[in-house]
Structure 1
């Protein structure tokens, strides 16, 4: 059905009569169905069996409820949005509207000045702009702390905890083991807390720092830490070397200017689309260089799906409308969209010139926006599947689970070392208890008190009192 006749009416009276007639047509039970053309593109219009679903399908449904019209959907025959050829003929959805083959075009149809000359378009139902997507590796940049990049943040935290626990274990073993500290009352303790941490720090640098442990328990803890340090350093330098080689031809791209100033990564957009026309007609020197590069290399793609596929393969940046690229990034976690968005534009519903439906559709779209329905639809169809997957793709840094066996080995070694030190002290306490005919528990308690401060101080005080007497 076409409403071109109403558009040709002159005068306020004729216009009122036209609106009344159209309204009556919409609400009559035997009204003819509106023919609505659309195009397949995720998530606006997608196939679900023999039916269609998506953002635009839900939008049409909400508009029909508000305005009370019936409709019949069909996909555009040539699978194009609409552009004018050299002879002045329009293809795609815009062509179907102009030829009267459809009453409305509901899709991610960009509102442009050229299209507005040949069809009427409603107020936008979605705002967008031009951005680009590319593989995350191509968008990353060298960090000031690149020396830390071989290990993830969680791994560095684990290493710090392992360092603190090992230093504490070396200190405890040095205090508990009778072989390390035979006479707490008269001998000076070699493994103070400061020296314990200095000792394991020396192991990390493969230099060592004396004195070394003498007891079996201390040597076990020391050996386990040295093994941990050597394997940890091997993993660090191996991954660091791998990152250096992989980034030897690294190019960091954050903006359209970065894209235009390099010739390593190819880039392109959909052939004959509104995005291509923007770069073609732009007077900005950066955007002109981008267009000239795409023309020279013929790096255009036939559709968005091809652009996404090439971006996933790497070494290609696909330029498109940001809102569509946001969905791509939400589904393909290895891709990232540029923060820079240029040439802000909007998606609108197209109708024949002079169609009175445009006014009613505009009011309905504004009502849906004010009620939050459009925001709900956006959240519904742009839900990300990358939640929890970002950490797996942020970098090639080693994660804690990669070094799980190494940390378990260290933890087991520390536990066995402390247990051996306690057994050494227990053995000595049993011998002293047998010689002095005392209980083993009392001797062990007294020995622990001597080694951890309180007993030693009281013993020294008793000795000084006896010498005075």
Structure 2
């Protein structure tokens, strides 16, 4: 007859083996362990069979099979009536899986638990098998055209180098050509004309070399080669960049979120809420203030797929949940629609552990902890987890820049037109000033 765990621990040899050699311990005879479970996608899925018995699947089920094989035990699965992890009731008892453990109706809770100071007093935790964070997911904006994209074919360093080359070539020409300055031409006027001549070369305008001799001509030819190469590269890249569309991701930090008008959606968590309301300063205090101004909505986790599709995609709501759960929601959305309409903000808060638990002092939990660490360090759990979420990485690094093939329109070119108009207006003002100054000088001469 198979012994229960409590019966097996009454054997002093088994007790000492678990206590002193938990890393290598193995039951000599099969032991029956009772496990309490609830659904925790994507870590664990619980299914009730036709005969009323339970079966489990998912990454945590794989962990259970490794534990059963390594420690040589069989198991029986039970599930709390309320199908929850459990919380303390007004009469001091606990509901859910925690109640099963406290009342010793189960030896182990398989669904992964997060550590807490309150529960740490009476629960035994294994090493964390997975670490997660609370994260924010927001909807991407519609592809936008950058009207100043004509500046992007050249890097800022190239623009600076081109300007520096223009100045250096101009100054070299001033030094070399100082002895050839025509009589009757003012020094300032001559230097200015030299600069404008080199600028015309850069702008691919007409330029005459007949007045240049020797080293001056070679210097100008060198400058022409440089500007031609840069101009050809610029024009080729510009055509490509005009086809680029930028997908805005405006919310990246907690400060961005607080400064916006979006509403935060999350599951009801009074402990988390009470903590934020006690923070006295910083962005976390601002996050707590969202509760006071009505910018927080509570939703059940089972409604999150509809929330993602109908609210988050519109850009007015942000979903706040453990990061892996958000990855799963985005992966399912991609599987249904073929689109990646969401992005994670860079900000992550409050690390979350995922542990197997038992009652305080449970020696089996301590023995399982060593095996959990081995599974974690081997990368098996991450492999099982990612394999259980189809398309889990497709949208993780989705590009924020896309290219399209469509005719050029004012939306693409208005930045260049603004620059052209500003240049023509400046030229008109300069021309009017020249006419005015020339007229004043002519009147004075008379």
Shift of 1:130: 1.6
Q: Which residue of 2 aligns with 1:337?
A: 344
Alignment pair present for 1:381 and 2:385: no
What SS is found at the alignment partner of 2:298?
Answer: coil
**1:120 maps to what in 2?**
124
- 1:256 matched to 2:254? The reply is yes
The yes-or-no answer on 1:66 pairing with 2:70 is yes
Q: Which of 77, 80, 83 lines up with 2:81 in the alignment?
A: 77
- CA shift in 2, pair 1:134/1:124, >3 Å: same
Is contact 1:4-1:353 (8 Å) kept? Answer: no
1:28-48, CA deviations, whole angstroms, 9 ceiling, x for partnerless residues? Answer: 23x33x222222232112367
Whether 1:269 aligns to 2:266 is: yes
Question: Equivalents in 2 of 1:72, 1:336: separation in Å?
Answer: 41
Task: Write the distance in 1 (CA, Å) between the matches of 2:120 and 2:323.
Answer: 22
Task: Give me the TM-score of the superposition, normalised by structure 2.
Answer: 0.55
Match of 1:16 in 2: 16
Bigger share in helix: 1
Deviation at 1:341, TM superposition (A): 1.6
Which residue of 1 is the match for residue 286 of structure 2?
289
Whether the aligned pair in 2 keeps the contact of 1:312 and 1:334 (CA below 8 Å) is no
Deviation at 1:267, TM superposition (A): 0.4
Question: Which residue of structure 2 lines up, in the alignment, with residue 103 of structure 1?
Answer: 107
- When the two structures are aligned, how many residues end up with a matched partner? 304
Distance apart, 1:273 and its partner CA: 6.8
User: Relative to total residues, which structure has the larger strand share, 1 or 2?
Assistant: 2
TM-score calculated relative to the size of structure 1: 0.53
Contact (CA 8 Å) 1:83, 1:273: kept in 2 or not? no
* Superposition deviation, residue 398 in structure 1: 7.0
Q: Aligned partners of 1:63, 1:25: CA distance in 2, in Å? A: 10
Q: CA RMSD in A?
A: 4.8
Residues 281 and 61 of structure 1: CA distance in aligned 2, closer, same or farther (over 3 Å)? farther
C-alpha separation in 2, matches of 1:45 and 1:65: 19
* Equivalent position SS for 1:70: strand
Give the Cα–Cα distance (whole angstroms) in 2 for the partners of residues 376 and 35 of structure 1: 27
Cα deviations by residue, 1:88-130 (Å, 9 ceiling, x for unpaired)? 4433322221122322112232112222112111110111122
Cα 1:87–1:49 shift into 2, 3 Å: closer
Query: Given the alignment of the two structures, is residue 360 of structure 1 paired with residue 367 of structure 2, yes or no?
Result: yes
CA distance in 2, matches of 1:298, 1:289: 11
Per the alignment, do residues 52 and 16 of structure 1 end up closer, same or farther by CA in structure 2, a change over 3 Å counting? closer
Give the whole-Å Cα distance in 2 for the aligned partners of 1:283 and 1:361.
41
Residues 82, 90 of structure 1: 8 Å contact kept: yes
Stretches of structure 1 that go unaligned for 5 or more consecutive residues are: 150-197, 199-235, 404-469
Match in the other structure for 2:166: none
C-alpha distance in structure 2 between counterparts of 1:36 and 1:291, whole Å: 38
Q: Please give the residue correspondences for 1:277-356 in structure 2 after superposition, counting only pairs within 5 Å.
A: 279-280=276-277, 282=279, 285-294=282-291, 297=294, 299-313=296-310, 314=312, 315-332=316-333, 333-356=340-363
SS class of match (2:121) = helix
Q: Separation in 2 of the partners of 1:310 and 1:85? A: 30
Cα distance, 1:277 vs. partner? 5.9
CA distance in 2, matches of 1:295, 1:3: 50
Partner of residue 399 from structure 1, selected from 401, 404, 412: 404
SS at match of 2:252: coil
Contact 2:85-2:98 at 8 Å conserved across structures: yes
Q: 1:389 to 1:326 in 2, by over 3 A?
A: closer
SS in structure 1 of the partner of residue 63 of structure 2: helix
1:441-452 pair list within 5 angstroms: none
Structure 2 counterpart of 1:133? 137
Question: Residues 72 and 265 from structure 1, CA distance in 2 versus in 1: closer, same or farther, beyond 3 angstroms?
Answer: same
Per-residue deviation at 1:381?
A: 2.4
Per-residue Cα deviation, 1:308-331 (whole angstroms, up to 9, x for no partner): 432332222121222332333333
- Write out aligned runs for 1:62-211 (5 A): 62-85=66-89, 87-137=91-141, 145=146
Return closer, same or farther for 1:376/1:25 CA change in 2, 3 Å cut-off.
Answer: closer
User: Tell me, what secondary structure is at the counterpart of 1:271?
Assistant: coil
SS at match of 1:290: helix
Deviates more, 1:98-107 or 1:86-95: 86-95
